[in-house]
Structure 1
Amino acid sequence: MTQSVVTADGLTDALNDLVDRVHGAEFAVVLSPDGLLLGASRDVDTVLANQLSSLVAGLEALGAAATRVCVGGALRQIVVQMSRAFLFVATTRNGAILTVRIGAEAEVGDMAYEVALFVGQAERHLPVFLEPASTATGGETGAADGRR
């Protein structure tokens, strides 16, 4: 395993800044593609981080299945709307997963914009995660190749 040149403090500061920029944002975490916590904004404790890791892994799996069945291209973002909150889940070009929770009173468009900005600049804060060879070489299975 190679060592990352990314510092936890730099990622924590970037996530705190993301939460601070949008009124109503409550927390942000970044997970590796396999669900390991890479960084979190303030007020994210171990219990919440573990719950988010499991939740986001399930959402990512569901989203990936939807892209295969619907032949819609790569999964970019998942938004979960609840009665009192929104959960944004976005995959970075590096392969990491950003998750942000905002309250229902927050401006969703502002958060979507900030998530897109963070994802676009993620390489400054995150290591690169390689895709499995079958995905990287276009070896997707499912609706595209006739199997369902």
Structure 2
Amino acid sequence: MTQSLVSADSLTAALNDLVDRVPGAEFAVVLSPDGLLLGASRDVDDELAAQLSSMVAGLEALGMAATRVCVGGALRQVVVQMSRAFLFVATTRNGAILTVRIGGDAEVGDMAYEVALFVGQAERHLPVYLEPASMATNGGPGAGDRRR
């Protein structure tokens, strides 16, 4: 089996395709586990990307804390409902974080499906991020949970 090369162009194309497929989708970005921008759909400027990076890192941390306190299993996604929009934040099996915004009138179920589909196929477009060895060996909070 040959390993496919991950490129920024293929990730951008995949994010643009995600936004184009779902009516009402406004933008999509992918961040590394430490919050660095890996790729963005069209119309995401540097300022928006920076704001999303810090905000999504906070949402992801809050979601991870909820999994520990509520013992509800691994974090799959965080959905923020606003009066005029929804924000979906989902962690891929390879550790990256997908964030998609849709308008408030869009079909939430369609976006939830598309986010799950993208997350399931993320290895096509994204590198794999490994957990720190200390987390994997000592079974620290969230050790291995993100990939199940």
The two structures have a TM-score, normalised by structure 1, of: 0.90
For each residue in 1:101-138, what CA deviation from the matched residue of structure 2 results, as whole angstroms up to 9, or x when unmatched? 00001000000000000000000000000012243346
Assess, with a 3 A threshold, how the Cα gap between structure 1 residues 71 and 135 changes in structure 2: closer, same or farther.
farther
Amino acid at match of 2:129: F
What is the aligned residue count? 139
User: Which position in structure 1 is the counterpart of 2:127?
Assistant: 127
Are positions 1:78 and 2:88 aligned together?
A: no
**2: distance between equivalents of 1:141 and 1:37?**
25
CA distance in 2, matches of 1:88, 1:56: 10
Mapping of residues 60-139 of structure 1, within 5 Å: 60-137=60-137, 139=139
Contact 2:135 2:141 (C-alpha < 8 Å) held by counterparts: no
SS of 2:79's equivalent in the other structure is strand
Q: Please, what TM-score do these two structures have when normalized by structure 2?
A: 0.90
Alignment RMSD (CA, Å) = 1.5
1:139 CA displacement = 1.4
- Structure 1, unaligned runs of 5 or more: 143-148
Report the CA distance shift for 1:138/1:90 in structure 2 as closer, same or farther (over 3 A): farther
Secondary structure of the structure 1 residue equivalent to 2:67: helix
Whole-angstrom CA distance in 2 between matches of 1:73 and 1:140: 14
CA distance in 2, matches of 1:138, 1:125: 30
Q: Distance in 2 between matches of 1:97 and 1:131?
A: 14
Overall identity of the aligned pairs, in %? 87
Moved over 6 A (4+): none
